[in-house]
Amino acid sequence: MPIDTVTIREPDYGPRERLYLRELVRGLLITSRHFFRNLFGERDLNSEVGERQGANLIATVSYPEERRAYPPGYRGMHRLVPREDGKPRCVACYMCATVCPAQCIYIEAGEYDQEGIEKYPTRFEIDELRCIVCGFCVEACPKDAIRMDTGTHSPAVLSRPLATFDKEALLKGPAVSHPTDAITYGKSRRGEPLKH
């Protein structure tokens, strides 16, 4: 099959280009246009850089004071999603620890005495230094118990152990409940509603 190709046409390169000056002035016009627009224009502080208006062309933010919001769906720090009663939704099924390509999740399981779900994590630790932020753990979770929707990235720490987050540190954010939770959560082992 013949391919639709075209030989790139080179820009004109005649005596005018050969004598430097014309193209140099042209280049200088472009950069000085940027310079004067940025010098005299009021900077638009819209954190969405692509939507900034006005004469000013500056495309950066003055970081600690201005911050760009991460878009929805941004894979940030993990959190363990709590139930309405504040306990983790996690049932310690080890799916996230299994699927993690970096093996950064460590779980130890324990058992509830009276709830319908038997297992819960007694230890749930994520080493954020090992984490490669692929989001597979979130996908792998069958209980919607781990999410990466905190909107922050993992913080800078001064020593390696501090980058390992335990269950208490991870269990935060708004509680989540699903209609299907009724199957497992909130019932005793015999299937009776729990009395809180």
Partner 1 sequence: MLEQTMASESAPAEQDALSVEQELPTEPMTINLGPSHPATHGTVRIVAELDGEIIQKADVEIGYLHRGFEKSCENATWAQVLPYTDRLNYVSPLLNNVGWAMAVEKLLGIQDPERSQYIRVIAGEVSRMADHLTMLGAMSLELGGFAPFLYGMEARELLYDRITELCGARVTTAYTRIGGVANDLPPGWTDKLKGTLVKVAELREEMDKLLSKNRIFIDRTRGTGVITREDALDFGFTGPCLRATGVDYDVRKAHPYLVYDRFDFTVPLGTRGDNYDRFLLRVEELRQSERIILQALDQLPDGPVIVDDWRIALPPKAQVYGSIEGVMAHFKLIMQGPQIPPGEAYQYTEGGNGELGFYIVSNGQGKPYRVHVRAPGFPLLSALGHIVQGHMLADLIPTFDSINMIGGEVEQ
Partner 2 sequence: MSSTMSHPQNQAMEPVGIGAGALTGHDVHREAPKGPQGLPPSNFYAPFRPKEIAGAVALIGYLVVLCAVWAAMMIFGDWAIVGLFRVLGASLPAAELWGNAIANILFVVLAFVMLLATLLTMGERKWSAFIQDRIGPNRARLPGLKNHAFWGIPHILADVGKMMTKEEVVPAMGNQTLFHLAPAIAFAPAVILFAVIPLSPDFTLWGEHLHIGVAPHLNQGLLYIFAIASIGVLGTSLGGWASNNKYGLLGAMRASAQMISYEVTLGLTLVGLMLIFGTLRLDSMMSQQTGHLFGFLPNWGVFYQPLAIVAYFAAASAEIKRAPFDLPEGDSEIVGYFIEYSGLKFGIYMIGEFVEVVVFAGLFTTLFFGGYHLPWGEGWLAGHLGPTWLAGLQVLTFLAKTVFFCWLSLAVRWTYPRFRYDQVMNLGWKLLLPASIANVALTGVVILAGGMHGAAIMGIVELVILLAWVVGAVGVRRSGKETLLPTESAAASEHG
Token duo for residue 61 = 């933010």
Q: In the window 5-64, what residues touch partner 2 (CB under 8 A)?
A: 6, 8-12, 16, 21-32, 34-35, 38-40, 42-43, 45, 47, 57-60, 62, 64
Query: What is the DSSP annotation of 120-161?
Result: EEEEEEEETTT-----HHHHH-TTS-EE--SS-PPPP-SSGG
The residues, ordered by sequence, that sit 6+ positions from 102 with a Cβ below 8 Å of its Cβ are 130, 131, 132, 134
Token duo for residue 4 = 């639709």
Phi and psi, residue 8, nearest 5°: -65, 135
Is residue 145 within 8 Å of residue 153, measured between CB atoms? Answer: no
- Please choose, out of 106-114, 119-127, 159-167, 177-185, the segment that lies near partner 1 by the rule CB under 8 A: 177-185
The bridge status of strand 79-80 relative to strand 146-147 is antiparallel
Residue from 2, 50, 72, 191 touching partner 2 (CB under 8 A): that is: 72
Pick from partner 1, partner 2, none: which does 173 bind, CB < 5 to 8 A by kind?
Answer: partner 2
Which residues contribute to the site for partner 1 (CB under 8 A)?
3-8, 10-13, 17-20, 23-24, 26-27, 30-31, 34, 48-51, 59, 70-75, 93, 95, 98-99, 101, 132-136, 139-140, 142-144, 148, 178-180, 183
Which residues contribute to the site for partner 2 (CB under 8 A)?
6, 8-12, 16, 21-32, 34-35, 38-40, 42-43, 45, 47, 57-60, 62, 64-67, 69-70, 72-75, 135, 138-139, 141, 144, 147-152, 173-174, 176-180
